[in-house]
Amino acid sequence: MTTTWFRQPVRVFQHLLRERDAIGLDPAALIDEAREMQAEAYVSMGAGFSAWYPTALSSQQVNPHLEGDFLGDVVAAAHRHGIKAIARVDISKGRAAWLARDPDWFVQQADGAPKLIWEMPQTCATGPFWQREAFAMLEEMLARYPVDGFFFNYFNVAQCHCPRCQTTVRAATGAGVPKPGARSPVYERWRQRFLADYLRRVRDFVHARAPHVALIPYHHVRDGWSYRAMAAQTDIVSAQCSNPVVVNPIDPQPQWTHWAAEEALLARAVKPDAAPMLVHSGSAFFASRQTAIPAGRMIRSLAQATAHGASPMPAINGRLAQDDPRSIARLREFSRLHARNADWYRGLRSLARIAILRSQDSIDWGSDRGRPAGDPLVPGHVAEFRGSYEMVAALRYPCDVLPDGGLSVEALMRYQAVIAPAVSCLNPADAAALDAYVAAGGTLIATADFAACDGDGGRRAAPALACLPALPGEGRPIFGAYFKLADAALRTRLEDIPHVGADGAFWTPHLADARQDLRLIGPFRNNAPEFTLVEGDGAEPGLLRRAHGKGEAIWLPWRIGALHHAFAIADYAAILGHVLEPAIGAPPIRTDAPAAVECILYGHARGEVLHLVNGAAAQTKPMIATVPLAGFEVAVTTAATNAIRLDTGAALPAAREGDSLRFAIERLDSFLAIALTSPRAR
């Protein structure tokens, strides 16, 4: 690539247009609306099952309501205003009328019937539509329009039982396509390789004709993706983090309040030289996409994404003057604030000394059983990862997120501590990297049934790591049990209580040479008040610490993260802080703000940037609107002497205290961005 326009965060905007919206539509008016949203890049309806330009290809159907050359006019209007023009391409589906004409373009189910997505036939990745017609579309658009990028929507390899796919899969794997409902690691690895290789071919095809054009593949839950392999072939990592209030019932999306942070941090880990593009849908109800997402919910997600250095991409259904415009004003206000402070969002540098592993293998082949949001009845890696992230955030530590399937000791050595939350499925290469990291002086904190299986979910017969030379064993429920607090420092941290409650699953790895604490007392089955005594020193340990080389491996063989994620148990965050602090020191942020205030701190050439993101909302319900908070102080370890509000440019009253800068926050609405500077840096 010769272009660098997407290396730093840019503001992206998209109108999700219905075909009928083309009636009387002035493309230049869309760019005017994008300019209202301070857009630096615009995603235009382009090609695929609905072509928004006068294509000469029979593999596309021109939008029947189209007047003139929509795509060409959008590109020209965008470029007149210095806005990058990205064409949206969707080759995942076709028109029902094409089934009879070109049946070999489409996915066949096991019974031979076509597979439908939103009542449209899904295309087969091994067929002529992908292998020939998609390249013809790109060739045609590149010859006609000076686009700056292609955004591939719903980009994945569908499971297809057609004879061509059966032959292709059998030749590559030795087995056919799995039966409906069956999941096979061998087949899933094939899907991942096939998609990444196809993306490489598309990239090479596009770059050979237009080296400046960015390739942006997208799927809302990354079905069939190898995250690292796809990132290696793309120019911009794109991801969904919309959190609609009422989700897509066919592909349930992972709802949680740190989704934007997770996606931004994952992308930064695998492609640090290009800002990720995070899609924020404007719809509260996925179905038909009409009702506006509550403004507070969207702004919190946008603030979190941009605080981590991502490019925000609001995707609004229809025009700004829509039936439900209630979030538009807040979105416009947010965009203006981001534009005014664009320099503060460029060149953000991670200050994290902690990394949390996100294991897609554990999601696919552990107890989550491939569900992006986890199994609601059996907590697995998803819940453990989310709870671990939430505890680190509550402790006010910056952290990074690392995807599995490509860990290296060089990358791990950036961190003093690495958390492996219920990474039950661990491949040998990643295990070796973690071992080398600990031996070189790092601290590994593993939880739950760590490394019980290989990367494909096969049960291990021998331990995976030398630093933790034990298998977790079989888990058992410990409802009604307690952990005895023997460590004096930990007891002090927990106000000198003797024990903390235990629940969920518990494993018993045998590490005789490890220091042990949090010994299990119980479980107690008789909960009548006359018999509720918790006595004794306990038996199996819930905390094992083992020196290895220059470092230390720590194992909490229970679901500390999942329990915190479900129940916000503050004692568990304190336990995690107790094992983290010796490795990395005190948190760089101290505050008496409620735990609902998320603190996101990054380094910058002129100091640091701190975002305070308000997560206070009505309990037991999805977050709709934030509850304003008032009256708290923040102290940040920094050399800075000034704290400047980025929304107003006003200085906050601040004072130096030792190695920190302390200032007060009178009121926190959705979020507040603060630049920490010295006089010479301003």
Look at residue 5 and tell me if it is in a domain. no
The CA distance from 485 to 499, in Å, is: 5
**Domain assignment present for 194:** yes
Cα-Cα-Cα-Cα torsion 441, 447, 448, 450, nearest 10 degrees, comes to -30
Q: 182 and 56 in one domain? A: yes
Q: Output the CA torsion sign for 309, 315, 320, 326.
A: negative
Exposure b/e, 452-462, CB count within 10 A at least 16 = b = bbbbebeeeee
- How many domains is the chain partitioned into structurally? 3
Over residues 383-430, the pLDDT tens digits come to 999 999 999 999 999 999 999 999 999 999 999 999 999 999 999 999
Strand partners, 548: 551
Identify whether residues 109 and 168 lie together within a single domain: yes
The C-alpha angle 300, 566, 476, rounded to 5 degrees, equals: 150
Give yes or no for a contact between 382 and 368, defined as CB atoms under 8 angstroms apart: yes
pLDDT at res. 682: 46
Residue 2 maps to a domain = no
Q: Is residue 307 part of a domain?
A: yes
Domain limit, last residue, from 553, 584, 615: 584
Enter the DSSP assignment of 8.
S
pLDDT tens-place string over residues 503-537:
999 999 999 999 999 999 999 988 888 887 888 89
d(CA 565, CA 382): 10
Q: Is residue 598 part of a domain?
A: yes
The pLDDT, as a whole number, for residue 125 is: 98
Which DSSP state fits 174?
A: S
Q: What is the CATH number of the domain that holds 646?
A: 2.60.40.1180
On whether both 649 and 620 belong to a single domain, the answer is yes
Q: What is the pLDDT, as a whole number, of residue 254? A: 64
530 and 494 part of one domain:
yes
Q: Quick one: 595 and 528 in the same domain?
A: no
Domain span at residue 122 reads 12-346
User: Could you tell me if 446 and 468 are in contact, meaning their C-beta atoms sit under 8 angstroms apart?
Assistant: yes
* 270 within a domain of the structure (yes/no): yes
Q: What is the pLDDT of residue 288?
A: 61
For residues 654 and 595, membership in a common domain is answered with: yes
**b/e map 156-169, b = 16+ CB within 10 Å:** bbbbbbbeebbebb
- Domain boundary residue among 584, 610, 630? 584
| Nearest one of 71, 12, 82 to 42, comparing CA atoms | 12
Tell me, yes or no, whether 595 and 560 share the same domain: no
Last residue of a domain, one of 290, 325, 346: 346
Residue 261 in tokens? 């942070």
Q: Enter the tokens of residue 620.
A: 């037991």
Structure confidence by residue, pLDDT tens digits, 221-235? 999 999 999 999 999
**Whether 218 and 293 share a structural domain:** yes
Domain CATH number, residue 78: 3.20.20.80
CA distances from 38 to 75, 247, 336, 365 (A): 17, 29, 6, 43
Do 400 and 304 belong together in one domain?
no
Residue 604 placed within a domain: yes
Return d(Cα 277, Cα 562) in angstroms, integer.
29
Same domain, yes or no, for 604 and 619? yes
Q: Are residues 560 and 638 in the same domain?
A: no
Q: Do residues 549 and 636 share a domain?
A: no
Q: Which residue has the tokens 């020209």?
A: 76
Q: In 3D, which of 361, 419, 366 has the Cα closest to residue 392?
A: 419
In a domain, 7, yes or no: no
Low-confidence ranges of the chain (pLDDT < 50): 1, 682
Q: In DSSP terms, which residues pair with 490 in a beta bridge?
A: none
The secondary element (H helix, E strand) that includes residue 46 is strand 41-48
Reduced DSSP (H G I as helix, E B as strand, rest coil) percent helix, strand, coil of the chain, to 5: 30, 25, 45
Q: How far apart are CA 200 and CA 191, in angstroms?
A: 14
For the domain that residue 541 is a member of, what is the CATH number?
3.40.50.880
DSSP reduced 3-state for 35 = helix
Say how many residues make up the chain.
682
pLDDT at 680: 62
Q: Which tokens sit at 604?
A: 């910058």
